[in-house]
Chain A
Amino acid sequence: MANKMKKEAKVLSCGLLADGIYELWLETPFAKDVVPGQFVGVYPVNKATLLPRPISVCEVDAERSAIRLVYRVVGSGTAEFSLYRPDDYIMILGPLGNGFPLDKANGKNVVVMGGGIGVPPLLETAKRLTDAKVSAVMGYRNSETFLSDEFEKYSDMYIATEDGSVGTNGNVIDALKANDIKCDVIFACGPMPMLRAIKAYAGEIGAKAYLSLEERMACGVGACLGCITKTKEIDDHSRVHNARICTDGPVFDADDLEM
């Protein structure tokens, strides 16, 4: 695995994708090492802030040594990020965590499922799943279906919206069922209720699910023990049922989690 580093990254481009959803392309020396599902810690410049903001990598462009971050503005830190412009520099820590186990999908029907701001990391995931039959099911609140057109390049794309304005009216599982999508392996990222439902559904149909979790974190490197998740078995590091999302995850085998 690539060594982690905290380093300045150059903003190559930026943009607004949907209401409150922004993107940044950053040039960083570790871009080529990033595995889909990994994340970076992004530091606001504001001196009153201490902690890096964990943001998943949406896409990698190895040729430009660049990563793409797609994030929602939720507080003062992400609001600051949305003001960055090309040629600005920003501090990032990465690459962090473990990505999706892409080899588990080889030769199988794989479905990448994202909900809301959980959608972005699945784009690079879909792109790299070249040895599988890839379907993508993405859930949104409304017709602001950011990134959905880009998934079409790498997968059969299906959409679920909470207000029914696009695709299936309902959640990602509703869309999966409505479109009768074949599913041996699921890679998913999104809010906890969605991930719980995916775990239960995968259990019902006998599919394997790998879930990317989110939690408030401080260090991002496994030292502070802030971002733990409950696991079925006692894990090797904590010796209690607490895996660290930042370093043992953020992607976990759904069977290993107590959700």
Chain B
Amino acid sequence: MNTKVKIAGVEFKNPVMTASGTFGSGMEYSEFVDLNKLGAVVTKGVANVPWPGNPTPRVAEVYGGMLNAIGLQNPGIDVFIDRDLSFLSKYDTKVIVNVCGKSVEDYLEVVERLGDQKVDMLEINVSCPNVKEGAIAFGQNKDALYDITKRIKEKAKQPIIMKLSPNVTSIAEMAKAAEAAGADAISLINTITGMKIDIYKRQFALANKTGGMSGPAIKPVAVRMVYEAAHAVNIPIIGMGGIANAEDAIEFIMAGATAIAVGAMNFHDPYTTEKVVEGIEEYMKKCNVQDINEIRGIV
């Protein structure tokens, strides 16, 4: 039985990854999960300098999911390399670093700093809905997406994954723009912009007013978008959005994803990633699947 998958020449022991921002750099969850069992750890977004993020409240629960407006708080690339990457280097798993910035130059600075580091791939965050500058501004316009992808690809030493936003009219067009500019892969979906109002306090549940929605309630939207993207491009797709168990993961793979990532459900159950790895193997045995790659895009 083969669970290995390959993206841009990088081989992952299985298709299960962590969704950026829901797993830190793995340190906190290593108390619950054996990181060696995961296909990859995708880190929380890191910028060239420390970012303080948004005011609190930053999270709110909604039916079947949650909203967050953390605002990409991060310690900056220097501390990230010293602390987070050296922590991850102790594990036998692939490392994908999520990169964020306010300007193209910010992204390029981080990408260049990571060039000589033990990092397997870079995931470029052009889809965070919770910061005013950068991020989603690059991910909602296909020309801007094409431009930033091209400029990062020119400088990047590692293969790049463009993380796409669902807050667009056509995910297929965005996927095509990333592919045309040289992206090695795409990941989707980032969170869906949402809002919650506390009717008793007569105010927004989040200090940022809006936040990104994640959790099981968004899964059908994510599966549909992965399917549409898979039919628009030939580069590999990392699918995510509400994955709670192995059945959900298989759905994404059948929709066309090469790998998948567990996000908000880590908060519900810190053991989710490992359970998904085990559940995929059980599914393969039960349904007589010899190679996980044979069911990709099968629908």
Which A positions have Cβ atoms within 8 angstroms of B? 3-6, 43, 47-52, 93, 215-229, 237-242, 247
Contact = CB atoms under 8 A, between A and B. Distances in A.
8 contacts: A6-B269, A43-B268, A50-B265, A223-B24, A224-B68, A225-B70, A225-B73, A242-B52
Nearest to A246: B28
B210 to A, nearest CB: 15
A6 B32 CA distance: 9
Given A43-B268, A224-B267, A50 B61 contact: yes
Interface in B44-83: 44, 50-53, 56-61, 63-66, 68, 70, 73, 75-76, 79
Given A48-B64, A51-B61, A216-B60, A223 B266 contact: yes
Nearest to B59: A226
B28 A239 contact: no
B2 to A, nearest CB: 31
Interface in B233-283: 264-271
A49 to B, nearest CB: 6
A215 B61 CA distance: 13
Contact of B75 (A48, A221, A237): A237
B215 interface: yes
A221 B31 contact: yes
Given A48-B64, A223-B22, A240 B52 contact: yes
B212 interface: no
A54 to B, nearest CB: 12
A51 B53 contact: no
Contact of B267 (A219, A229, A238, A242): A219
B29 interface: yes
A225 B58 contact: yes
Given A4-B31, A223-B28, A51 B66 contact: yes
B294 to A, nearest CB: 32
Interface residues of B, number: 39
A136 B282 CA distance: 56
Nearest to A240: B52
Given A51-B268, A223-B23, A223-B24, A228 B32 contact: no
Contacts of A216: 56-60
A240 B71 CA distance: 13
Given A48-B64, A238-B75, A240-B51, A227 B56 contact: yes
B51 A226 contact: no
A93 B268 CA distance: 10
Contact of A215 (B22, B24, B52, B56): B56
B297 interface: no
Nearest to B73: A225
Contacts of A239: 50, 75-76, 79
Given A50-B215, A239-B50, A6 B271 contact: yes
Given A3-B31, A48-B63, A221-B31, A228 B56 contact: yes
Contact of A218 (B29, B216, B267): B267
Nearest to A5: B32
Interface string B126-158: 000000000000000000000000000000000
A227 B70 CA distance: 9
Top 9 A-B pairs, shortest CB-CB distance: A239-B75, A226-B59, A223-B24, A223-B28, A240-B52, A216-B57, A239-B50, A219-B267, A218-B267
B194 interface: no
B267 A228 contact: no
B75 A50 contact: no
Given A216-B57, A223-B266, A225-B73, 6 more contacts: A47-B64, A224-B59, A228-B56, A239-B75, A240-B51, A241-B52
B246 to A, nearest CB: 17
B52 A50 contact: no
A220 B266 CA distance: 11
Given A215-B57, A217-B59, A221-B31, A240 B50 contact: yes
A113 B215 CA distance: 38
Contacts of B61: 49-51
A50 B262 CA distance: 14
Given A49-B61, A216-B58, A224-B70, A242 B53 contact: yes
Contacts of A238: 50, 52, 73, 75
Contacts of A240: 50-53, 73, 75
A20 to B, nearest CB: 14
A177 B1 CA distance: 73
A93 B68 contact: no
Contacts of A220: 267
A223 B76 CA distance: 16
Contacts of A222: 24, 28
B58 A50 contact: no
Contacts of A51: 59, 61, 66, 267-268
Nearest to B269: A6
Interface in B64-107: 64-66, 68, 70, 73, 75-76, 79
